[in-house]
Structures are given as structure tokens and as C-alpha cells.
Structure 1
């Protein structure tokens, strides 16, 4: 099962450039969380800091009761074994077959016999739908298959935390939909804690339990999915609604006067949800939670999610 990650007062800068400051949040154990934000807000830096690849300037990151910001390198190595990471490009070795790419962490970090390595690799390849592609090279397969191979490699050590760095990058909408379903299915099967960095709002509507938004070097909000989609915070409304009007500009933040003028010019009805409450997303925030597919084992947590979503859907439909 997954473990909780508690982040307290985290600040990171490179030289004089502050990336983000005083970030505090708790990633609940076993749940799927998504981190959103405009380009350049340090979402990937946040992932690398969580896993200990970058050291923060200030703050604490408590993983399984240990503050990883205070650990020595050999202690940090042990905590990192709790993590699996799917990098944006899959980060596969081009000269290795998919089988050998996925087997690499097992061969590098364990002393398992090759028969056990083969069993585990084939099990993970089956979980991500890659059986039959064992001998293919990364250059011979599609981007979606490379993502799935990277995900299988992230799973081979049975991590309790899995970090996804823009898993939908470079994929068409159909492949993104398949990948989203795969992520939900894997969370149901493994019970691991998932954190996903993405720009894809459609994924954010369907996949996570929780959503965070980074902007102007701060964590604007972090909370349950429906809470953010119902928010009237201007930057949250703008980003989740995909609008030009609001604090986020093309190349930099807009000044306060420009933001106020743009928001004042918006038609009041456009900014109101179907029940009259504010929120640029309207009914889009009521998109049903994506559930594990047929036949996928579900933990008790997932059964409760299914019941909660069914009740919510009945309220929305009036049945």
C-alpha cells in the first residue's frame, strides 16, 4: 500500500531565481494527486525535490516518517526505493530491448535470480499491455508504448509511491484516454500513492482524488478534485477553464489592473455554473470520476469512491 507524503514550508531557488516558496501539502496514502500549473512554474522541479534528486533551500519532506531533506546519501538511497518514477520521455535505453529496459532496476538493485527477474518483468509488462513486445527496441515502437514501458519499469520494484512527469506529453487524445485508464487501474491494483504532473485538464477532471495548482512561485490551492473545479479563485478558474482572461499571461504574469479589467469585462453568466454558483468550469467539474475497468481488482478505497461518484451522479441527474 502507499505511504503519505507530508510537505512543509518547501522553498526552492536556483541562484537568485525563486522557483516556488513555502509550499505545504499532504499527499494522502494510496490516493491519486495531480499537480497543475502554467509552463515554467516548477512542477518537474517539485517532483525531483520530492524524490531527493534536488535539495530544497528550506522546508521538510516527510516520507514514511523520515524527513528526506535531512538524510545522508546512503539513507536517502533507502527511502528512494519507495519511489517509482515515470519520466516525461520514458527515459528508456535505446540500445536495450523493452524486456531489458524493464528488468534494469531489478538487475541493478536486487540479487534476484534471472528466473525471478523474468517472472516479475513479464507480470509488469502484462499489467501495462506490452506482452509480445519484449524484444522490441524503443525506437521501433510508438510513443504510447514507450510510456507504458517506462511505467512498467517504474513498477518492477513494487514502489509505494509513483511519480509521473507529464505522462500525456506527446500523445494524442485517444492514447491519453487509454493511459488515464491504465493509471487508474494500476492505482486500484497496487494501492500506491500517485502524483502526476500534467497540463491536461481533461485528465485532471477524471483521474485524481486531489489537485494542486502552482502559480507565481506559490501553491495556490491543493484539495479534492471537485473542490478545485468549484473554486472562484481567479487563477484556478482561468487555468481550469482554459481562458485568456485572468492572471496568467502568454509569457509572464499580468499586472493586477489588467487582470481586474479583464475579469470585469467577462459576462457574469459566463462565470457562473449551472446552479448559479461562481466557477468558470461549470458542469465540467461534475465530470464523473474515472473508475477501474471491468475485472480490475479494487481496494476498499476504490469501492467507496465508486459509491460516492454514483451518489453524486444521481444528484446531478435528479434521479
Structure 2
């Protein structure tokens, strides 16, 4: 069972440069959340703050009753045991084969026998489809396999929170689709709390239960997937639907001249909301909602064609 992450009024700066300020959100226990945002908006910085690698200037991050923004190093060490992290490039040790890479956290942080370690490592490698590749070195396999090996390593300590830092970076659309399905299947099996940082619009539209968007040094919106996919908020609408018209430009914000030139332009209609990915075995995840449930509860009419198998999905 995953645990909840409560973030309140979080602010992070590097010197005089404010990365984001007054960020507040709750990552629900056991659910899949995606954090989006233009390049340079501090999404990876946010993940590092959640595991205590970076200290915020203001605010709190409460996990299991402990504020990791202010707690002692001893308490932080204990809280970090709840986490598994998949880094952007897999962060594998190049001189170790995949088996030893995945076994590394168990050897470092537990006193398990090699027999027990082998059982756990092979179980996790089976989860990510890497049985048979355990003797290969990271340099001998594809980027997608390295991602899966990194995910197996993130899972060996049975974390209650799993952070994914751009898991789809460097992957082609087919392997991204396989990875997305794997994430959904893993959440169904281990019921942990998942937080994914990504730029991939297909991932954001089909995988998570909740979506957040960082923009212009603040959290523009965070909430259920259907809320953001039906939103008319300009920056949310523009980013999630990959539109050129809106406040985001090549250098993050458009200037007054660019925005004035767009004034009066008719926005394209919102695309249909695609069905959320389901586990491969067809058994719904604990946190999975009925298609259209949020829209019905909040009196929102979704875009025409939503929640049908043939609903359009953007190519990101």
C-alpha cells in the first residue's frame, strides 16, 4: 500500500533564481500522478526535493507524519527507505551486470543472504521482463532495457513511493507505449504511490490518475486527469493538447507582442479524452476511476467522442 505525500507552500531557489514558489499539492496514496511542464520549470528539482536531496527555502513535505524539509538526517534516512527512484538514464553501474546492479540496494541496505537476494532480484527482473538478461552489462543492451533494469532496481526494496524522472526520454513511441503499460501493471500489482515526471503527452493523457503542471515558477494546476484534460485554463489547455496558441512560447513565456498577435484567434476544439490505460490482466487498479466519473460529478461536459476506444490520442 502506498503512502500519501503532502506538499505545502514549497519554494525552491538557487541563489537569486527562483525555480518555483508556493507549491501545494497532495499526491494520493497508491495513485499514479504525472508532473508536466515546459523544459526548465524545475520538475526534476521537485523530485529531488521530495527525497530530501535538495532543501526548499520555505514550505513542508510531510510523509508518514515526518516533514522531510526540516527533519534530522537520521529521520530522513528512514523516510528514504520508502522510496524507489527510476533516474532518467537508468543510472546503472557500467562495470556491473544487470543482476548485480539490481542486487546493489539489497546488499547495501539489508542483511539478506545471497540466496534471498537472488530470489528477490529474479522476481523483480521477471516483473520488468528482463529474465535471461541478468548477465549482460548496461553497455550491451538498449536504452529501453536499461530503463527496465533501473526500474527493477528501484523496486527491490519494495518501496511505497516510486519516482520516475522522465522514464520515456530517449525511447521511441513503441517502447514508450510498452513502458507505460508496464507502469500501469506494476501499480496494480504493488499498489505503491507513483509520481512520473515526463514531457510525453500520450503518457500524460492515458496513464495517470492525476496530473500536475508546473509553469512560470508556480504550480498552474494539479488534480484528477479528467479535470485537466477538459480544462479551459490557457496554459493547461495549450500544453496538454500540444497547441501553439497560448501563453507558452519557445522561451517559456510569450511576450506581449506575440500574445497580442494571437488575440481573437479561434482555438481548436479540445480533443476527446482517451480511455485511461488498464492493467493487462483486465482487473481495475484500486485507484482507477470509471471513465467520465469526474466529469459527471462536477457537471462538466467532456469533448465529443471522449472515453471511446477510438478516441484520438495526441502524438506528443
TM over 0.5: yes
1:95–1:316: structure 2 CA closer, same or farther, 3 Å change rule?
Answer: closer
RMSD between superposed Cα atoms in Å = 2.1
CA contact (8 A) 2:278 2:285 kept: no
Map 1:132-147 to 2 at 5 A: 132-147=132-147
Work out whether 1:198 is the aligned partner of 2:185.
no
Work out whether 1:282 is the aligned partner of 2:281.
no
Distance 1:207 1:64 in 2: 26
1:267 maps to what in 2?
266
Distance 2:126 2:12 in 1: 39
Instruction: Indicate the SS of the match to 1:69.
Output: coil
Instruction: Indicate the SS of the match to 1:147.
Output: helix
Distance 1:178 1:299 in 2: 18
Distance 1:187 1:206 in 2: 14
Distance 1:263 1:14 in 2: 35
Instruction: Indicate the SS of the match to 2:7.
Output: strand
Query: Which ranges in structure 2 are unaligned for 5 or more consecutive residues?
Result: 297-301, 309-316
1:293 maps to what in 2?
280
1:131 maps to what in 2?
131
1:232 maps to what in 2?
232
1:174–1:315: structure 2 CA closer, same or farther, 3 Å change rule?
Answer: closer
Instruction: Indicate the SS of the match to 2:171.
Output: coil
The superposition leaves residues 78-120 of structure 1 with CA deviations (integer Å, 9 ceiling, x where unpaired) of 0000000000000000000000000000000000000000000
CA contact (8 A) 2:291 2:307 kept: no
Distance 2:200 2:224 in 1: 17
Query: Which ranges in structure 1 are unaligned for 5 or more consecutive residues?
Result: 273-280
CA contact (8 A) 2:274 2:306 kept: no
Q: Which sits farther off after the overlay, 48-57 or 68-77? A: 68-77
1:155–1:305: structure 2 CA closer, same or farther, 3 Å change rule?
Answer: farther
Instruction: Indicate the SS of the match to 1:282.
Output: coil
2:241 maps to what in 1?
241
1:92–1:256: structure 2 CA closer, same or farther, 3 Å change rule?
Answer: same
2:313 maps to what in 1?
none
Q: Which runs of 4+ in 1 moved over 3 A?
A: 297-302, 304-309, 311-317
1:275 maps to what in 2?
none
Q: Residue 299 of structure 1: CA displacement? A: 4.9
1:305–1:148: structure 2 CA closer, same or farther, 3 Å change rule?
Answer: farther
> How many residue pairs end up in the alignment?
301
Distance 1:256 1:76 in 2: 45
1:94 maps to what in 2?
94
1:161 maps to what in 2?
161
The superposition leaves residues 132-179 of structure 1 with CA deviations (integer Å, 9 ceiling, x where unpaired) of 001000000000000000000000000000000000000000000000
CA contact (8 A) 1:5 1:27 kept: yes
Q: Residue 305 of structure 1: CA displacement? A: 4.7
Map 1:49-198 to 2 at 5 A: 49-198=49-198
CA contact (8 A) 2:4 2:26 kept: yes
1:96–1:263: structure 2 CA closer, same or farther, 3 Å change rule?
Answer: farther
Q: Residue 292 of structure 1: CA displacement? A: 0.3
1:150–1:208: structure 2 CA closer, same or farther, 3 Å change rule?
Answer: same
1:14 maps to what in 2?
14
Q: Residue 301 of structure 1: CA displacement? A: 3.5
Q: Residue 64 of structure 1: CA displacement? A: 1.1
Map 1:22-37 to 2 at 5 A: 22-37=22-37
CA contact (8 A) 2:292 2:307 kept: no
CA contact (8 A) 2:275 2:307 kept: no
CA contact (8 A) 2:216 2:252 kept: no
- Please report the TM-score for the alignment, with normalisation by the length of structure 2: 0.90
Distance 2:126 2:93 in 1: 20
2:314 maps to what in 1?
none
